[in-house]
Amino acid sequence: MLRLSKMTDYGTVIMSRMAARPSDVFSAAELAAAAGLTATTASKILKTLARHALLKSVRGSKGGYRLALPPERISVADVIAAMEGAVAVTECGAEGSHCPQEACCPSRDNWQRLNAMVRSMLSGVTLSDMARPLREDAADVEIH
């Protein structure tokens, strides 16, 4: 089963909320409450996203965090990479792979192709997309 960590899921939720009001500055407490998280968890996520240049920290009494880029320039793949590292379905799809079977694996090229497809799909979905409701007709999109 392919599954993102809860922290990555929460990071996507937080970033999507921020994308709905991209020019606003949000406190960690505000984002934690909106996402149903503890302040500690939200702060940890926000610091990670800021370290990866997806958020900017704003100091002062009205300080907090804001998006570092417009929401249409931040993809779901960017958030996943910040929280977990590069998107890769298999070891041979990751940069710097250390799989001992890589040289003789008959499936390697196909897995790398699938990895590229997953990365491409996640890169094609932006925070702007995540911040707005899914259209009914978009839920039935076939992937070829």
Q: Does the residue 89 lie in any domain?
A: yes
Name the domain count of the chain.
1
Q: Does the residue 32 lie in any domain?
A: yes
Q: Does the residue 136 lie in any domain?
A: no
pLDDT score recorded for residue 93: 64
The CATH number that applies at residue 35 is: 1.10.10.10
Summarize pLDDT for 126-135 with one digit per residue, the tens: 999 999 877 6
Q: Does the residue 142 lie in any domain?
A: no
Q: Is pLDDT above 60 for 31? A: yes
> What does the H/E/C string look like for 48-86?
HHHHCCCEEEECCCCCEEEECCCHHHCEHHHHHHHHHCC
84 within 8 A of 4, measured Cβ to Cβ: yes
Tokens of 87: 């998107």
pLDDT score recorded for residue 87: 83
Summarize pLDDT for 38-92 with one digit per residue, the tens: 999 999 999 999 999 999 999 988 899 999 999 999 999 999 999 998 888 877 7
Residue 26 is classified by DSSP as B
Nearest to 25 by CA among 51, 48, 58: 58
Q: List alpha helices for the chain, DSSP H.
A: 6-19, 28-35, 39-51, 76-84, 108-123, 127-131
What confidence tier does 103 reach under pLDDT thresholds 50, 70, 90?
Answer: confident
Instruction: Phi first, then psi: give them for residue 58, nearest 5 degrees.
Output: -115, 125
Q: Is 75 left (phi over 0), alpha (psi -120 to 50) or beta?
A: beta
Q: Does the residue 140 lie in any domain?
A: no
pTM: 0.84
Q: Does the residue 80 lie in any domain?
A: yes
Q: Does the residue 137 lie in any domain?
A: no
Q: Does the residue 62 lie in any domain?
A: yes
Residue 133 is classified by DSSP as P
The range of the structural domain enclosing residue 82 comes to: 6-131
